[in-house]
Structure 1
């Protein structure tokens, strides 16, 4: 169920009762919503925030699944290339090493950060934040890490790396014999789980639970 939010006179309202639309910057009175509902901006229809069911436990399950897939997605072969009697297994990590050894150290560092280091850092931040809420301890650290997570969001570019892999497969399929490896399926699964996690882990509920405004916001 969606609850459009109606603008009203806001001059006398305290800041904690206000919310701004992230899409069109319309300032609104913060609505009260019930589990399963979401608040929408009346001007542009953007979702201001939602109250989802069992956010912490569902998000924890997704984070732990993503962490389980992280090593096979990055270190198992994405594809196997057969060319002129030679066979090579290509992984995300071997791609980083190949760039570094070929003299493109700067590009290798960027690929490593955006496809491996930052996605892992994001998952670890999410894990600690969710555990802080679940165990009701270390919420100050949870607030710091959740802010860090939001700063890192734009730098984890698994989808860009995935598009690069698809382009490479299309270009090489006519030149050599290609075999898709299990690492590619792990990589796709990791990407989809992270997208799902972005949907499930409602920022409004996480902030409310961490700050103590609503300790049960993640229930």
Structure 2
């Protein structure tokens, strides 16, 4: 169920009762949502926020799944190349090392940060934020970590790295025998789990739970 919201006389309302659309900047009264409902902007139709079921438990399950996929996705072979009788196996980590050892240190650092370091830090931030809500401890640290997560959100670029791998496979297909490795399967799985996590982990409910406004965020 969805609900469009708008209201006159907003100047008389306290700030905590107001919400602004991220797309068109329309200011409106914040609605109270039941489970499964979502609030839509009456001007542009953008989803302001939603009230989803079992946000904390579902998000925790997805974070743990992503962390389990992280190591095989980065350290197991993505593909094996066979050219003129010579074979080589490539992983995300070996790609970073290869760039570093060929005097492309700047590029290797960017690849390492965007494809390995920042995605891991994001997952760890999400994990600790969810644990602070689940066990009701260290909410102030949870707020700090969730802010850090939002600052890092646009810097984890797994989809860009995956696109580069797929382009390389297409270009090399006529020159070498290519065998897709388990690492690529885990990498795609990690990317899909993170996308699913972005959908499930409702920012509105997480902020409310961290600030103590929503004691039933995990319901």
Q: Distance in 1 between matches of 2:60 and 2:100?
A: 35
Aligned pairs for 1:3-82 (under 5 A) are 3-82=3-82
Q: Which runs of 4+ in 1 moved over 6 A?
A: none
Structure 1 counterpart of 2:179: 179
Aligned pairs for 1:142-153 (under 5 A) are 142-153=142-153
Structure 1 counterpart of 2:214: 214
Q: Deviations over 1:124-183 (max 9, x none)?
A: 000000000000101100000000000000000000000000000000000000000000
Q: CA RMSD in A?
A: 0.6
Q: Distance in 1 between matches of 2:18 and 2:217?
A: 18
Aligned pairs for 1:94-109 (under 5 A) are 94-109=94-109
Q: Is the 8 A contact 2:80 2:89 kept in 1?
A: yes
Q: Is the 8 A contact 2:129 2:145 kept in 1?
A: yes
Q: Is the 8 A contact 1:77 1:184 kept in 2?
A: yes
Q: Distance in 2 between matches of 1:145 and 1:42?
A: 32
What is the Cα deviation at residue 7 of structure 1?
A: 3.3
What is the Cα deviation at residue 217 of structure 1?
A: 2.3
Aligned pairs for 1:107-186 (under 5 A) are 107-186=107-186
Q: Is the 8 A contact 2:56 2:217 kept in 1?
A: no
Q: Deviations over 1:93-139 (max 9, x none)?
A: 00000100010000000000000000000000000000000001011
Q: Is the 8 A contact 2:78 2:89 kept in 1?
A: yes
Structure 2 counterpart of 1:191: 191
What is the Cα deviation at residue 67 of structure 1?
A: 0.1
Question: Runs of 5+ in structure 2 lacking a partner?
Answer: none
Corresponding residue pairs, total: 219
Question: Runs of 5+ in structure 1 lacking a partner?
Answer: none
Q: Distance in 2 between matches of 1:109 and 1:20?
A: 38
What is the Cα deviation at residue 213 of structure 1?
A: 1.1
Q: Distance in 1 between matches of 2:197 and 2:14?
A: 32
